[in-house]
Structure 1
Amino acid sequence: MEATKKLNGKAVGKWLGNNAIIVMMLLVSLIVGIIHPNFFSWNNIVNLFKNVSIRYIIALGISGCLITTGNDLSAGRTAGFAACLACIFAQTTGAAGKFYPDMATLPTWLVFVLVIAICAVIGLCNGLVVSFLRVQPFIATLGMQQVVYGICLVYTGGTPIGSLDKSFTSIAIDNFLGIPLLIWVSLIVAVGFWFLYNKTRHGKYMYAIGGNESAAEVAGVNVAATKIRIYVLASCMFGLAGCLLAAKSGGASVNTAMSYELDAIAACTIGGVSTTGGVSTTGGVGTVPGVLVGVLVFELMKVALQFMNVNSSYTYIVQGLVIIVAVAIDIRKYLAKK
């Protein structure tokens, strides 16, 4: 009996150590909720989950890259470019300062299809560079980040784009069964990713590559093709998130979604997606529900800081510290398994 208590105590201590950031953020949120009752109001919760929905989609896109010990630093710029493209395609006919004065407003479904298809090309480029040129994902996607940002600057001239058609912005306003459409979209994407990660050959290959790329290749996994699919899918998610962000904001500029990739990487790490890899006995590490927990905790932290009237400049300091601590905990878990 005493041994069981010691074992349970050790297990609890280990869990608390591995999830220190989650526990800390939940405690902070609870304290803020007690001090400011509006923190747990229905409207605030709905707004929180709307923000979580868009960032969750981006984080899910990046998760596959991280699980295979890669990365995608072009996420924010790709989402921003996608938001600008969506706004251009969805501008109201006859709007003042319309980007293409003679172009009719495109149907909402066509806007999404075109934007996601364009973003898929960006992901394809990332995947080809990482897989065949053997450029480190960090460097490859950092370069693509600058390329996409430059293209967006040249294409839009740095001019904000607004005056969007109501049928497009309604995605961020309308509800279905009392739940905002934004949340429904993220739930559908999450279910799709869960199925992809857990029930398909692609998911098995992805985790195998994350566990030990050389062993996966020897076992017959087409590593290059799998990585290309991962980066294409990631960019498609950035395109989808950019469209939703444009609809939610009612406009976009070249600075839209700036640094969203850092938040997504931090959220994935907090949610249990391993950035270290190399553990051949366990394979790549990361789950779809875990990513949701990470995004939710990260967004809770931001909202809590706002309710505490913390200067927005200090928010960046806190976010940076959270990222460092999250990666440090991830490395600590990896070393403990060795």
Structure 2
Amino acid sequence: MSNPALSTGGQHLSTDEKKVLIKSIISKYGIYFVFLGLVLFMSIMHPAFLTVNNILNIIRQVTSIGLIALGVTIIIITRGIDLSSGSVLALVSVIAASLAQNPDWGARMYPALPMLPVVVPIVVGLAIGALCGGINGFFVAKTGIPPFIATLGMMIVARGAAMIYSDGRPVSSLTPEYNFIGQGEILGIPFPVILFAIMAVLCYILLNHTRFGKYVYAIGGNEQAAHVSGINVGKYKILVYILGGVMSALAALVLSARISSGQPGLGNMFELDAIAAATIGGVSHSGGIGTIQGTVVGALIIGVLNNGLDLLNVSAYWQMVIKGVIIVAAVVFDMRKNARKS
């Protein structure tokens, strides 16, 4: 009779060893199995899901959430949170759009502004995102205010500032050069997808192959120990939130260019989807644990879920309920996993 134990490299595994191996595989690659299972389920439920046009639509839609989620991932690794992402996106979108006007319309709304090259709204938008993130980081690092409260305040302020700046109206009629950011293609690949891929690679390198990344994990793992070891915790917390603000600004440029309009109502609840993507991707809210690749897959899961539920005509209200349940379930799973490790 054959031995039922698994064999690896000529060695047999006991039943307990097999269980440990299986748990290890699920813990490490479970998110990928979930993604593939969700794609398979949606493909069975609706024949239009796997069409080329729908796949491209999912990828385009997920880029804005994905960009925000990259920044949120690094923030959560330091035991922080950012509730202001969606509001910062809205503020950047209206200001950047006001600086990217077509001559035939923009001069009438903003007569004092000359027609500017596309680099101007991009740089100004990124600077505003960095400023908002820096303010968040300053309050978190220097005043001891919990990240939840600091970023909640910025969420309200940034949304109000977007309303004031635009007078509550969309800022439309943007230049073709600006619209290329959200609508253009290079070699048949949508530019937003290329941008998201580039930023994901850069964030991966930043977290895994730089001193910054080592310090981020150290701060999240044990802030007091990081401080004692000589890490300037306050400085790196500020830098982390600045990075989060820049990623929100990038998302604002992509989204406003995709819809050819900056709107003060853009980005509503985007912070929920970004936090959900990071959490589903395995980023621990206990700090010190998380990967960029996991967040990318988490963002894709959110995109597939949103698109699939739309195709199945599920109410937007129920979609919010489902995503909320997913976030809680992911956090519970993370807590149980960490408890078993300890």
Q: Do the structures match in fold with TM over 0.5?
A: yes
In 2, distance between residues paired with 1:309 and 1:14? Answer: 37
- Deviation (angstroms), 1:97: 8.6
Q: How many residues align?
A: 332
Query: CA, structure 1 residues 148+288, in 2 after alignment: closer, same or farther (shift >3 Å)?
Result: same
1:40 aligns with 2:50: yes
Q: Does the CA-based 8 Å contact 2:38-2:301 persist in structure 1?
A: no
In the other structure, the counterpart of 2:210 is 200
In the other structure, the counterpart of 2:318 is 314
In the other structure, the counterpart of 1:280 is none
In 2, distance between residues paired with 1:98 and 1:184? Answer: 34
1:65 aligns with 2:75: yes
1:180 aligns with 2:190: yes
Q: Does the CA-based 8 Å contact 2:126-2:249 persist in structure 1?
A: yes
**Residue 152 of structure 1, aligned match among 155, 162, 167:** 162
- Deviation (angstroms), 1:86: 1.6
Task: Encode CA deviations 1:196-242: one digit per residue, 9 max, x unaligned.
Answer: 11111111100000110000111111100111111111101111110
**Secondary structure at 2:208 match in 1:** helix
In the other structure, the counterpart of 2:9 is none
Moved more, 6-15 or 221-230: 6-15
Please list, as runs of the form range in 1=range in 2, the aligned pairs for 1:155-234 lying within 5 A after superposition.
155-234=165-244
Where does the alignment leave 5 or more consecutive residues of structure 1 unmatched? 278-283
In the other structure, the counterpart of 1:11 is 21
Q: Does the CA-based 8 Å contact 1:90-1:111 persist in structure 2?
A: yes
In the other structure, the counterpart of 2:8 is none
Q: Which has the larger radius of gyration?
A: 2
Query: CA, structure 1 residues 109+330, in 2 after alignment: closer, same or farther (shift >3 Å)?
Result: same
Moved more, 169-178 or 195-204: 169-178
Where does the alignment leave 5 or more consecutive residues of structure 2 unmatched? 6-11
**Secondary structure at 1:37 match in 2:** coil
In 2, distance between residues paired with 1:31 and 1:194? Answer: 30
Moved more, 44-53 or 126-135: 44-53
- TM-score normalised by the chain length of structure 2: 0.91
**Residue 331 of structure 2, aligned match among 319, 327, 331:** 327
**Residue 108 of structure 1, aligned match among 105, 118, 125:** 118
**Residue 134 of structure 1, aligned match among 125, 138, 144:** 144
1:77 aligns with 2:87: yes
Q: Does the CA-based 8 Å contact 1:268-1:294 persist in structure 2?
A: yes
In 1, distance between residues paired with 2:38 and 2:212? Answer: 39
Query: CA, structure 1 residues 199+13, in 2 after alignment: closer, same or farther (shift >3 Å)?
Result: closer
- Deviation (angstroms), 1:22: 6.1
- Deviation (angstroms), 1:168: 0.9
- Deviation (angstroms), 1:336: 1.5
Q: Does the CA-based 8 Å contact 1:126-1:144 persist in structure 2?
A: yes
In 1, distance between residues paired with 2:254 and 2:79? Answer: 28
**Secondary structure at 2:99 match in 1:** helix
- Deviation (angstroms), 1:104: 2.8
The CA RMSD measured in Å over matched residues stands at 2.0
- Deviation (angstroms), 1:32: 2.4
- Deviation (angstroms), 1:173: 2.1
In 2, distance between residues paired with 1:30 and 1:15? Answer: 21
Query: CA, structure 1 residues 190+18, in 2 after alignment: closer, same or farther (shift >3 Å)?
Result: closer
Residue 188 of structure 2 aligns to which amino acid in structure 1?
G
Moved more, 173-182 or 260-269: 173-182
Query: CA, structure 1 residues 258+23, in 2 after alignment: closer, same or farther (shift >3 Å)?
Result: same
In the other structure, the counterpart of 1:304 is 308
- TM-score normalised by the chain length of structure 1: 0.92
Q: Does the CA-based 8 Å contact 1:32-1:307 persist in structure 2?
A: no
